[in-house]
């Protein structure tokens, strides 16, 4: 029964090898769906192209449905699945910083690498900026530490804090996602942009 690595079904090294291949596949899908164009990512903020929203939310929904069904069939123990711990302040601040960076740069870390891989100079510059940011944060970490660690919430699940079953929350999230997709498609018709 999964998850594979914590249960020792595959070794840590096999895990990295699988991650390597999955990462390559991910990059290939990103590139072949046109994500290495910075206009694609910027488009979501202006409403003319919402593919990013649709792709990533569909990914999340697919993953959620898959995990819940696999848990239902007894194939995976959800308690052993790693969940990122929540630090509320840094989640909010990080979200704002990331969002601003996405609009200004037109890339997210993944798409900047696919952009660089097909020779886009703006992608390479974005990667450079990414590393500058990483080093700047690492070397000034003591300045941020207090804020970084503030409001630690553990590993809460929204379904738990709402007091509902995972499955019921899953259904609600599916409905919310579909509603969001409908709004996104409306936005694409409302703010069309030629030739981007």
Partner 1 sequence: MKPLKLLALIIIPLGIILAAVPADKTKRFRLSADELLQEAGAGAQFISPDVIADMLVQKDPSLQLIDVRTPEEFEAFSLPGAINIPLSNLLSDEFTDILNQDARTNVFYSNGSVTANEAWMLTRQMGYKNNFVLEGGLNYWFGNILSAQAPSQTSPNEEFAKYDFRKSASAALGGGGVVAAEGAATAPKAAKPAVASKAKKKPAGGC
Note the residues at the interface with partner 1 (CB under 8 A): 58, 61, 65, 68-69, 71-72, 74, 77-79, 165-168, 170-171, 173-175, 178, 181-182, 185
The β-bridge relationship of strands 86-87 and 152-154 is: antiparallel
Q: How far is the CB of 44 from partner 1 (least distance, A)?
A: 17
Q: How far is the CB of 117 from partner 1 (least distance, A)?
A: 28
* Of residues 97 and 176, the one with the C-beta less far from partner 1: 176
* Of residues 74 and 142, the one with the C-beta less far from partner 1: 74
Are the CB atoms for 125 and 107 separated by under 8 Å?
Answer: no
Q: How far is the CB of 62 from partner 1 (least distance, A)?
A: 8
Give the integer Cα–Cα distance in Å for 49 and 187: 8
No. of helices (H) and no. of strands (E), the chain = 9, 2
* Of residues 15 and 159, the one with the C-beta less far from partner 1: 159
Rg of the chain over all Cα atoms, to the nearest angstrom: 19
Measured from the Cβ of residue 31, the count of other Cβ atoms closer than 10 Å reads 17
Give the integer Cα–Cα distance in Å for 176 and 184: 12
Q: How far is the CB of 185 from partner 1 (least distance, A)?
A: 6
* Of residues 21 and 82, the one with the C-beta less far from partner 1: 82
């Amino acid at each position: 029964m999964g998850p594979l690595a914590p249960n020792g079904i595959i070794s840590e090294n096999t895990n990295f090898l699988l991650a390597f291949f999955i990462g390559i596949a991910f990059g290939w899908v990103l590139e072949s769906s046109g994500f290495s164009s910075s206009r694609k990512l910027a488009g979501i903020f202006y409403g003319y192209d919402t593919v990013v929203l649709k792709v990533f939310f569909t990914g999340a929904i697919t993953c959620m449905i898959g995990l819940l069904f696999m848990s239902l069939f007894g194939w995976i123990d959800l308690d052993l699945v790693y969940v990122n711990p929540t630090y509320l302040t840094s989640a909010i601040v990080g979200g704002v910083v990331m969002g601003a960076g996405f609009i200004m740069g037109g890339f997210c870390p993944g798409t900047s690498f696919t952009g660089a891989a097909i020779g886009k100079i703006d992608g390479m510059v974005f990667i450079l900026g990414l590393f500058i940011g990483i080093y700047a944060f690492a070397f000034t970490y003591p300045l941020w530490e207090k804020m970084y660690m503030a409001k630690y919430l553990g590993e809460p699940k929204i379904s738990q804090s709402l007091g509902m079953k995972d499955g019921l929350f899953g259904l609600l999230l599916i409905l919310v996602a579909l509603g969001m997709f409908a709004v996104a498609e409306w936005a694409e018709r409302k703010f069309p942009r030629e030739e981007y």
